[in-house]
Amino acid sequence: MSSPVSLTQYLILKQREKGLIPGELRLLIEVVTRACKRISIAVSKGALGGVLGDNGTENIQGESQRKLDVIANETLLEANEWGGHLAAMASEEMDHSYTIPNRYPKGEFLLLFDPLDGSSNIDANISVGTIFSVLHLPEGATEPREEDFLQAGVHQLAAGYAIYGPSSQLVLTVGDGVACFTLDREAGSWTLTEDQLRIPETTREYAINASNQRHWEPPVHRYIGELLAGADGPRGANFNMRWVASMVADVHRIMTRGGIFMYPRDARTPDRLGKLRLLYEANPMAFIVEQAGGAATNGHQRIMEIEPQALHERVAVFLGSKEEVERVTSYHRDA
């Protein structure tokens, strides 16, 4: 049996053999994923670590923060601020971007993250995760500004998520397919357990919060109505539904066995384009899903081609198995 491949080896091979990632980007990914190991440990301690429950604060989006949201955010900031590879960071949990303090050397990359996605589930011991995305500082920029983060997803250099579930796993793309690593807790390393993940193009499984049905737009009603009609309806097949309400867990299931994930735009808040955040959630997940042969749209256009207007911008999300994403997108076009 060949010896297991660590994340470090995987990245060095990508750097050396394919010239895909510069050394500084490799170091950046190593630091981010090392922080994810720490978050994994904190999450796994649960009640024994005193990390459950509310933090008593709210983020800029008016959502109450869990203690673990704050711990995960601090862990990522501390791990990444001093290494010299970053110009600035932006987080779902912080009002503004975070420029690397002057006491540390600065680099050319921008890091964006949702430190603990699905954190409303944490007290129920349901899988949560960290989502991250890496961009290059725009050409000519010296002092990073908030606008520098407003780049379409097609400019991402790397994206990944760590899922803290029965095992902790890291799913990563540097634009050359998608690899999955599992945390070997004894060795303390992310170990490659699957390379070149592919999402099946067809699926009979979907994920949506159906309690919002009365607020959906007509194309979503039409699409879900057809799925619910099953073998007796126009699709002539039965579909199964799953909703964890933790995007990393729902997307990870799709990466594993296919499916379509939807968080459509919602009439409850017409001024908002959706619930999920473009820069911290939708773009990195869209990059991963596309690299695995899937598709990701907001119902009208490819998510990765949207030009962001604000750091905490929200977006409608349809992603996963290509055929279903294309179908629901075509229903939006028809409407």
Instruction: Return the range that interacts with ligand AHM (CB under 6 A); candidates 48-56, 74-82, 117-125, 184-192.
Output: 117-125
Give the binding-site size for ligand AHM (rule: CB under 6 A). 12
Tokens, residue 51: 């990390």
Which of ligand AHM, Mg ion, none binds 63 (CB below 5-8 Å, type-dependent)? ligand AHM
Residue number with CB closer to ligand AHM (118 or 284): 118
Which of ligand AHM, Mg ion, none binds 245 (CB below 5-8 Å, type-dependent)? ligand AHM
Closest CA to 299 of 277, 286, 315: 315
Which of ligand AHM, Mg ion, none binds 237 (CB below 5-8 Å, type-dependent)? none
Tokens, residue 46: 């649960």
Q: Which amino acid is at 103?
A: R
Helices (H), 156-240: 218-229
Binding of residue 117 to ligand AHM (CB under 6 A): yes
Q: Which amino acid is at 86?
A: L
Which of Mg ion, ligand AHM, none binds 209 (CB below 5-8 Å, type-dependent)? ligand AHM
Helices (H), the chain: 7-16, 23-45, 67-81, 218-229, 247-257, 283-291, 322-334
The CA-based dihedral angle spanning residues 205, 208, 210, 211, taken in that order and rounded to the nearest 10 degrees = 150
CA distance 286 to 97: 22
Binding of residue 305 to ligand AHM (CB under 6 A): no
Binding of residue 311 to ligand AHM (CB under 6 A): no
Which of ligand AHM, Mg ion, none binds 119 (CB below 5-8 Å, type-dependent)? ligand AHM
The CA-based dihedral angle spanning residues 170, 174, 177, 179, taken in that order and rounded to the nearest 10 degrees = -20
Which of ligand AHM, Mg ion, none binds 246 (CB below 5-8 Å, type-dependent)? ligand AHM
Q: Which amino acid is at 210?
A: A
3-state helix, strand, coil in the chain (%, to 5): 40, 25, 40
Binding of residue 304 to ligand AHM (CB under 6 A): no
Query: For residues 87-116, which are near ligand AHM according to CB under 6 A?
Result: 92, 114
Instruction: Return the range that interacts with ligand AHM (CB under 6 A); candidates 96-104, 184-192, 243-251, 320-328.
Output: 243-251
- Out of 73, 119, 169, 283, point to the residue binding ligand AHM (CB under 6 A): 119
CA distance 40 to 34: 10
Binding of residue 114 to Mg ion (CB under 5 A): yes
Residue number with CB closer to Mg ion (61 or 301): 61
Pairing of strands 205-207, 240-241: parallel
Q: Which residues bind Mg ion (CB under 5 A)?
A: 114, 117
Q: Which residues bind ligand AHM (CB under 6 A)?
A: 63, 92, 114, 117-120, 209, 245-247, 263
